[in-house]
């Protein structure tokens, strides 16, 4: 709009980093936080830094991270799929970012996100569920504030509950239950007492609630698979990702 600053709009993505080479330049506290998340996601992490934070030294000894004890070399960013510049030196970070972008590599810059082409949202996990908040780099503090707010609403009980939902989807599909019927089953689980049982520490009760629902849909451990006719009734599953 004329006379107004154009707002940045980031496109949200979830990356599968399993087995992919990722470079982190900087072995301090910021780099350590980045690396922990990358390890959890299965990335092959290399850290370039003259020194390492104690927690990173432990990760190197465990073999979870490869350490190059030196300064960054111009040109090496091109050998990686993803780069994080967290050197604690703005000039070094800028140089790493320019190098990565010139090589067509996605790069995140810890202290100056505008130098890179990738921003990492404020996030937290509940089992398979990842909740992320971004302000497109406009206000990292506000993104963290929203993250903390959502952490209170989406409490830890959602972790095992989401795992149940994932397993339920697999079992319903294996039993031949159609897309529309699966959605009905998911809604039934969502509205059940399973989550409250997890919150009260009653894991057996939570599992029993979901198991009873799956039994009714022919996907129980000992069900008679009566609802397998759903597959014949609806034909080939037209959209396996729809649910």
Please write the tens of the pLDDT for every residue from 81-115.
999 999 999 999 999 999 999 999 999 998 888 89
Whole-model pTM: value is: 0.79
**Taking the domain 21-120, which CATH number applies?**
3.40.50.720
Domain borders along the chain are 21-120, 122-154, 158-234
> Are the C-beta atoms of 46 and 66 separated by less than 8 Å?
yes
pLDDT above 80 (res 203) = yes
Give the long-range contacts of residues 182-188, CB within 8 A, separation 24 or more.
182/243, 183/243, 185/213, 185/214, 185/217, 185/219, 186/243, 188/213
Please enumerate in sequence order all residues whose Cβ is within 8 A of that of 126, keeping only pairs 6 or more positions apart, or say none. 154, 155, 156, 158, 159, 162
Q: What is the pLDDT of residues 123-178, one digit of tens each?
A: 999 999 999 999 888 888 999 999 999 999 999 999 999 999 999 999 999 999 99
Q: What is the pLDDT of residues 40-52, one digit of tens each?
A: 999 999 999 999 9
The Cβ-side half-sphere exposure at 197, using a 13 Å CA radius, reads: 18
pLDDT on residue 114: 87
Q: What percent of the chain has pLDDT over 90?
A: 80
* CA 198/CA 213 separation, integer angstroms: 16
pLDDT on residue 222: 56
pLDDT on residue 129: 96
Mean pLDDT, the chain, whole residue set = 89
End-to-end CA separation in angstroms for the chain: 38
Residue 201, judged by CB atoms within 10 A of its CB (0-12, 13-18, 19+), counts as exposed
């Amino acid at each position: 709009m004329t006379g107004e600053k154009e707002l940045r709009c980031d496109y949200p993505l979830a990356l599968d980093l399993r087995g992919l080479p990722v470079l982190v330049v900087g072995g301090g506290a910021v780099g350590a936080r980045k690396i922990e998340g990358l390890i959890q996601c299965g990335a092959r992490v290399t850290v370039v830094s003259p020194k390492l934070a104690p927690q990173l030294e432990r990760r190197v000894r465990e073999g979870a991270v490869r350490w190059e004890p030196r300064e960054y070399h111009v040109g090496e960013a091109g050998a990686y799929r993803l780069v994080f510049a967290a050197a604690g030196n703005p000039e070094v970070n800028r140089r790493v970012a320019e190098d990565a972008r010139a090589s067509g590599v996605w790069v995140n810059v810890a202290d100056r996100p505008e130098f890179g082409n990738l921003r990492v949202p404020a996030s937290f996990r509940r089992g398979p569920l990842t909740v992320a908040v971004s302000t497109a780099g406009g206000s990292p503090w506000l993104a963290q504030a929203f993250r903390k707010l959502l952490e209170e609403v989406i409490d830890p009980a959602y972790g095992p509950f989401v795992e149940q939902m994932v397993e339920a989807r697999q079992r319903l599909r294996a039993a031949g239950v159609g897309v529309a019927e699966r959605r009905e089953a998911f809604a039934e689980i969502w509205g059940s007492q399973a989550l409250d049982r997890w919150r009260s520490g009653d894991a057996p009760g939570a599992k029993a609630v979901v198991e009873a629902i799956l039994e009714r849909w022919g996907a129980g451990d000992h069900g008679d698979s009566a609802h397998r006719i759903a597959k014949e009734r609806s034909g080939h599953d037209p959209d396996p990702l729809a649910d």
